[in-house]
Amino acid sequence: MRRSSLLLCLFSFLAILPSSFSARPNVLIIVADDLGYHDVGFQGSKDIPTPHLDRLAASGVRCTNGYVSHPFCSPTRAGLMTGRYQHRFGHENNPVWLPEDTKQGLPLDQTTLPQLMKKAGYATGAVGKWHLGAHPQFHPMKRGFDEFFGALGGGHVYFPDQKAGAEYTIPLNRNGVDEPQKKYLTEQFGDEASAYIQRHSGQAQPWLLYLAFNAPHTPLQAPESWLEKLAHIADKNRRTYAAMVCALDAAVGQVMARLDATQQLQNTLIFFISDNGGPNLSAKGAGNFTDNSPLRGAKGMVYEGGMRVPFLVSWPAKLKPGIYDRPVIALDILPTAVALAGGEVPQDRVIDGVNLLPYLTGEATGTPHESLFWRSQGPQGIHAMRQGNWKLVHLPGGKPELYDLAADIGESKDLSAEKPEVVTQLTSAITEWEKGTSTPVFGGPREGKTKAKKKAKK
């Protein structure tokens, strides 16, 4: 009798376990690198075909006022991984490729998204570009990921055996072990992400996959097959860049097809963003091959072109397709994912992101953020903030600039002289926000070059 009761309890537990897990979505975060605001079809591009990303946009919510928390690479990723303005913990520059340096990376006292998802019972995997520290203590598998395949630095060559600097030619890394590159890198990352999805199909345990492409970041290298299809683009640099975007789109399509084939698409929450705006490299002789129109500025700037990005959220089982026009930011990814996982965000620190789901479903009618802030180059550097439709930009040595984004998305008309009271209000808000920030922990490439030279002399 007792044995029958125990078996009944066991069978009852097993019966409810899959449904309790399946109610929680898988989470897929796709990050492009240096993608121009206008360089995908759903953003209006006419010369770069991106059918798979366009289909993803049509299936979900396109956030037309979507931002990242920094105008260049690594700090944006640090903010995404923690749900916090990275200025709160000093990750304001790109870490230099110095594997012996224990400071050049995401500080170890910061709790990460994969750690929180793992605690909530999720499998966690990462594929692609890391760029959050070269020292072994910063390895993705030390920061909450069960699996990792990708490039640990800030970029990589796309074809095997291409020549470049040390950081861009290091072996790829699989779960802490070096591995040679096998094919065009964007395609290889697509293969690895698809394989991860396949391995975790049919299982009760939900999963998180962070898929961070290094495309279309330089070096400009693209498969000949894509270059041939884009022969209508006359400028060589623009054509190569466009081919890299097309290869990225194809890899996303491969991943989406695998989700569909394994019957996981409906219950997978998908985010798609770029880590910052497209770069303007004309001063370096490469040509301004990205298109951030109708925005002003580019990567590295706190005008809209630096950190306003293509921003998609899809969850077919729960979200109706449409457009959401209130400001959102990549910091929101962590609290959204953790809430849907049934987990909890840290209570011992400020979490700046918010759970977007109530806003995207219409359950919450307010705005996710009253204000958004940006800073680059430390407390004395570049500042910007957005409050409602007002945008304040303050460059070192210059006077504050004020723009009405509702009427002037291109930030062409400075209204600071006409609205001094708004300038005062927003400047005070920046000053208050600054109280919760710290100075940069590491100085970025310039500091790194100095350290590298000292190391070489020894």
Domain residue limits, the chain: 24-361, 380-434
Contacts of 227 (CB under 8 A, 6+ apart): 239, 240, 243
pLDDT cut 70: percent of the chain above it: 91
Q: Which of 206, 233, 211, 209 minimizes the C-alpha distance to 222?
A: 233
pLDDT of residue 13: 39
pLDDT tens-place string over residues 353-369? 999 999 999 999 999 99
Instruction: Give me the architecture of the 24-361 domain, per CATH.
Output: 3-Layer(aba) Sandwich (3.40)
73 carries an active-site annotation = yes
Kindly name the residue from 38, 63, 70, 73 that is annotated as catalytic. Answer: 73
Instruction: Using the predicted structure, report yes or no on whether residue 343 has a pLDDT greater than 80.
Output: yes
Give the three-state DSSP class for 270. strand
Range from 4-13, 51-60, 197-206, 442-451 carrying the lowest mean pLDDT: 4-13
Q: CB neighbours (10 Å) of residue 49?
A: 17
User: What letter represents residue 431's amino acid?
Assistant: T
Instruction: Using the predicted structure, report yes or no on whether residue 294 has a pLDDT greater than 50.
Output: yes
* Mean of per-residue pLDDT scores for the chain: 93
State whether CATH 3.40.50.720 applies to domain 380-434: no
Kindly name the residue from 131, 139, 156, 383 that is annotated as catalytic. Answer: 131
Contacts of 435 (CB under 8 A, 6+ apart): none
pTM recorded for the entire structure:
0.93
